Every structure is written in C-alpha cells, then in structure tokens.
Structure 1
Amino acid sequence: MVAPGELLFSHAVHGAMAGPSTRSLRSSAVRTRIEDFIAWANGEAARHSLPGEVIPPDPHGAIGTRRFRRTLAWHIARRPGGLVALAIQYGHLRTALVSEGYAAHSRDGIHELIDIETVRAVADTVADLNEDLEGGGGVSGPAARRAIKAAARAPRFEDAVINATTARRLLANDNALLFDNPQALLLCHYKREQAPCHRTGLRDTPRLDHCVPRCGNVVRTDQHAASLRDRADALVKQAAHAPQPISERLCDHAERLRGIADTHDRARITLKDTTA
C-alpha cells in the first residue's frame, strides 16, 4: 500500500495535513478516511452482489480512531505470530518479550489492549480445542491432560465481557492459559515455572517465538500431527531440487517431523481417557 519505510497512514500518501511534528495523518483526517473506506467497501459489495460483505450502520455512531484501532488489533492478534505483530504495530513489545525498563515507557493503554486481545485469542484457542475434543479428537504431549482440563472450562468464556480488569485476572491464572503456536505446530498450556522459553524471570505469557521442543507445556492435536506430515512432504519435495548437503538436511528434518507425528499417534489421549 505504501513505499518501504513509509507510514501506513502517511500524509504524503493520503494527501492530507500532517499532525504536529509527525508525518502521519491527523485524527480528523483518519476519521474521514475510515468513513470513506466504509462507503467504498459497501459500494464494492453492491457492485459484486455480495450483501454479506456490507458493513452495516453502527448503532453507536461513527467509527472513530479508537474503535478502528481495536478492530485492527483484533484481526492482527489472530494471525500467526499476531501478538508479536500487534505489539510492533502499536509501538510496544509486551513485558513478556522485552525488559520491563522499556515497557515502562509504553504508550498509554497498549498494555491493556494487548492483555485484552491476548485473552480473547486464548479464549478462541480453548473453545476450538474443546470442540475438537468433544468431536473425538485427541491430544498428546507433556501438558495434554492439563489442556483437556482447561478446554473443559471453555464455556466460562462464552458471553463474557473481556475488559482490562478481567484480562489481568485471567492472565494471572495459568490453569486457563492455552496459546496457539501455528508456526511450531503446537499448543502451549503455559506454566510459568516450567517455561524454558524464558531464561530469566517468570512472565505472564510465553515467548511463542522461542518455543523449545522438549518443553513441559507442549500440547499437540490430531490436526497438528497431520500438518507435521504435510510439512514433511513439502520438505521432501524441496529436497529433490536442492544440492546434496541441503537435500540431506531437509530430508532429515522431514523425518524428525514425521517422528513427532508418529509419537502423537501412539501417545494421544481423548476426552474419554480422562473421564474413564
């Protein structure tokens, strides 16, 4: 959308007056752009006969910058590695990722925003696992039984209003914290005291960019096992077109992934196994 190194909402791109001492749009200009975008999106939906894509009128009035910011945060947080991207996008890295000294200078409200989106993402992960287990799915890993117990608590998230206060309370209860890591193809049922992703100190969330394969918090599902085999197949195909040393490493890695998937199949437990 913009040139490398340029701001997403730059006045140079959008042709509007910049704010004081910045190159970004003023809040009033951003609000106008939001309304223009809604009008454009609805026009495109009508032109392509896609009524389900129409953005309906909001009962609370115009969508201002604060609410738009929350909407962007919701979508960013639910992408792979999204919580890290969210922190970067909004100019702050959570204390779980950086030193408290830097975090103390964070922008107003960013702690609360990331806490809320973290808990919402956790709630989605717990609900998805609960649905999978109810359908006969299995899990494996050191934290498999703990994850099943956490998934059984999924209904308590339903219809709950997640605000900054409830987010902090839930983040303090590590029995309820189940994080999805699609890059590592695993779930993390986070326990602070046994998290090797944190070399020093105890944090309230895991470092999903530093997952350790032998961690005691690891959980894998049937879908993870299937994805591990898919990734292994892709590596073997890549190896067929790579020089021999690289090809051998790719094939070795593929075998390790298949081994993890096979281990899951042998060790998986289901909801029935924990209630028998």
Structure 2
Amino acid sequence: MITTRYAPYGALKNNTLNERVEDFVAWVNREAEAQGLPHHIPKDPHGPIGLARFRRTLAWHIARQPGGLIALAIQYGHLRTVLDARTSSGYASRSRSRSRHRIHSVLDVETALAAADTAARLRDRVAADENISGSAARRALTAAAQVPRFKGRIVSNTFVRKASAFLARNGVVLFDNPDAFLICAFKRENALCEPDPDANAPRQYDCRPGCGNAVRTDTHARLLRERAGEIYQLSAHAPEPVGKRMRANADRLRETTETHDATAHRAEAWA
C-alpha cells in the first residue's frame, strides 16, 4: 500500500506544491546517486526553490525562446497573450499594477538581460570582422557599444527598475530574432510589426521584410543560405504546388542574403 502525506482531493495549495518541488529535488538526487550519475541538484544557498522562483524560468522562455509568448498564453490560459503580452494585464500575476514580483516585472528583467546578450554577440561578431547590413546598422552598433556585458549578478529591486528604464530607451535596444535571422534595433516609429504606441519591444512573431529596424551580420546571412538549402531539399520530396511555394520561399531567402552581400560593410564604415 502506498501512503502519502498529501490530501487525495481538492486543489493543490502553495505549501503543498512547494513541498512537492523539494520532494522532487530529493528524488532526483537519490536516483542520481543510485545510478552513479555525476549530476545532481545542489543545495541552494538562497533557500528552498519554491514556486515563486519559477517565475524567472517562465520569463526566460518568454523573453528568449521562439514562441515564448505562446508559452505564456498556455501557462495562463489566455490566447490574447499571443497578441501582446503587455496588453494582457488584467489576470492575476500578469498585472503590472500590483507587486514588483508580478510576471511583467520579471519579464522586463529577463528581456533586458536578453537584449544585453544580443548586444554582446553583435560586438563579438564585429570584433571578428563580420560585415553588417541594414538601415539600422549604425544605430545598432552605437547601442551595442553602450551596453556592458552581463556577467551574472543577484537581481535586486533596483535592478528591476533599471531593467524597465533600459527597455524604455526607444531605438537603442537590440532584440535577437533567430526565426527571422536578424537583430531588431527596435524603434517604434520604424517598426512594420505594428507595435502598440507605448510598446518597448517588437512583435517578433510578426517580423516583416523591409523593416527599418532590421540588422544582419555575415552570420545571419550564412544561416539564411543554409535554411534556403534545407527548404530546397525538402521541396524535392513535397507534392506540387507545395514544392513550388517552398522553392519560392527559398528564393526569397537567397535574395535576402544577396542584398546583405551587396550592402554590408565593416563596422568602421558605419561610423
């Protein structure tokens, strides 16, 4: 007979869920030791993990992963979140008007850290003598030069406020968009993704060709070529007219890389 200290009925409460998280950590460590595995979950010096600390994990996926807004919609059960996470402020922990611990504040922190990482990667590519293209190239290079590389720190109350102020700098915050193979130097008045008037981030799922915020490096162009080649290979095994549409899409991607090759310059040329 299996015994449990948890009630077999009713909704799970915070205390019970926190206990289950700790029980899960203990189980993982026991299994790792029993199987002779080197990895385990170390004891956290800041105390139990608990549910509240999963907000950073959720925010990481929203801010940094493709389809992150969809993950938020699934988590909170509101499809409207996919349209714009910042307009969905009326439900529980997504409210901006309550506590600094709400999901929007945490999301601002993670988004700011992701933008700092994007700026650091752009600086690394510039240092490797990659070419840069796009009408926002000069603005992106200026923004990248002004952002310090994030090396890890405790996220304090002050950092939360600084993150919000950082993201509010219209035109000089860089957002990586791996799905579109570009960096968005987001400026509201230039954006073709039709952001809200007070938005401080692009609608990355609605990135459109010809936008004045787009910036590409040689790395982006290389990835575009590889993606075009993959689509061509897939089109050979697809029925018509699907294969025809796939080849047309691949041709558009290759045209984008050709535009990059024709217009890209070293960073010093954009100074």
Using structure 2 for the length normalisation, give the TM-score: 0.81
Deviates more, 1:227-236 or 1:68-77: 68-77
Tell me, in whole angstroms, the C-alpha distance in 2 between the residues paired with 1:180 and 1:192. Answer: 16
Q: 1:146 to 1:17 in 2, by over 3 A?
A: farther
Structure 2 residue 176 is matched with structure 1 residue 180: yes
Tell me, in whole angstroms, the C-alpha distance in 2 between the residues paired with 1:269 and 1:90. Answer: 45
Following TM superposition, by how much is the alpha carbon of 1:70 offset from its aligned partner in structure 2, in angstroms?
A: 2.0
The residue that corresponds to 2:64 in the other structure is: 78
Tell me, in whole angstroms, the C-alpha distance in 2 between the residues paired with 1:126 and 1:115. Answer: 16
**Residue pair 1:185, 1:220 contacting (<8 A) in 2 also:** yes
Following TM superposition, by how much is the alpha carbon of 1:112 offset from its aligned partner in structure 2, in angstroms?
A: 0.9
Tell me, in whole angstroms, the C-alpha distance in 2 between the residues paired with 1:148 and 1:66. Answer: 37
The residue that corresponds to 2:99 in the other structure is: none
The residue that corresponds to 1:57 in the other structure is: 43
- Structure 1 letter corresponding to 2:124: E
1:35-91 superposed Cα distances (whole Å, 9 cap, x missing partner): 12222333454456554x432211122112111332343245322232553465245
Structure 2 residue 241 is matched with structure 1 residue 255: no
Q: 1:87 to 1:152 in 2, by over 3 A?
A: farther
**Residue pair 1:147, 1:189 contacting (<8 A) in 2 also:** yes
The residue that corresponds to 2:112 in the other structure is: 119
Identify which of 259, 266, 271 aligns with 2:267: 271
Following TM superposition, by how much is the alpha carbon of 1:232 offset from its aligned partner in structure 2, in angstroms?
A: 0.9
**Residue pair 2:131, 2:265 contacting (<8 A) in 1 also:** yes
- Structure 1 letter corresponding to 2:48: A
1:158-202 superposed Cα distances (whole Å, 9 cap, x missing partner): 567653211211111124311111111111100011112116634
Runs of 5+ in structure 1 lacking a partner? 1-13
**Residue pair 1:170, 1:176 contacting (<8 A) in 2 also:** no
Q: 1:74 to 1:200 in 2, by over 3 A?
A: closer
Tell me, in whole angstroms, the C-alpha distance in 2 between the residues paired with 1:226 and 1:122. Answer: 22
**Residue pair 2:116, 2:149 contacting (<8 A) in 1 also:** no
Tell me, in whole angstroms, the C-alpha distance in 2 between the residues paired with 1:16 and 1:178. Answer: 47
Instruction: Give the secondary structure class of the aligned counterpart of 2:180.
Output: coil
Q: 1:160 to 1:193 in 2, by over 3 A?
A: farther
Using structure 1 for the length normalisation, give the TM-score: 0.80
Deviates more, 1:202-211 or 1:106-115: 106-115
Structure 2 residue 161 is matched with structure 1 residue 165: yes
Following TM superposition, by how much is the alpha carbon of 1:257 offset from its aligned partner in structure 2, in angstroms?
A: 0.6
**Residue pair 1:17, 1:26 contacting (<8 A) in 2 also:** no
Instruction: Give the secondary structure class of the aligned counterpart of 1:242.
Output: coil
**Residue pair 2:120, 2:149 contacting (<8 A) in 1 also:** no
Instruction: Give the secondary structure class of the aligned counterpart of 1:188.
Output: strand
Where do 1:1-276 residues align within 5 Å?
16-17=6-7, 23=11, 25-46=12-33, 51=38, 53-86=39-72, 88-90=74-76, 97=84, 100=87, 102-105=88-91, 107=93, 108=95, 109-155=102-148, 157=150, 163-198=159-194, 201-275=197-271
Instruction: Give the secondary structure class of the aligned counterpart of 2:53.
Output: helix
- Structure 2 letter corresponding to 1:227: L
- Structure 2 letter corresponding to 1:112: S
Q: 1:220 to 1:84 in 2, by over 3 A?
A: farther
**Residue pair 2:171, 2:188 contacting (<8 A) in 1 also:** no
1:81-140 superposed Cα distances (whole Å, 9 cap, x missing partner): 32553465245667981684x524553412212212211211111112112212222221
- Structure 1 letter corresponding to 2:118: T
- Structure 2 letter corresponding to 1:254: A
The residue that corresponds to 2:98 in the other structure is: none
Q: 1:39 to 1:222 in 2, by over 3 A?
A: farther
Q: How many residues align?
A: 257
**Residue pair 1:87, 1:114 contacting (<8 A) in 2 also:** no
- Structure 1 letter corresponding to 2:66: P
Identity of aligned residues (%): 44
Tell me, in whole angstroms, the C-alpha distance in 2 between the residues paired with 1:87 and 1:122. Answer: 22
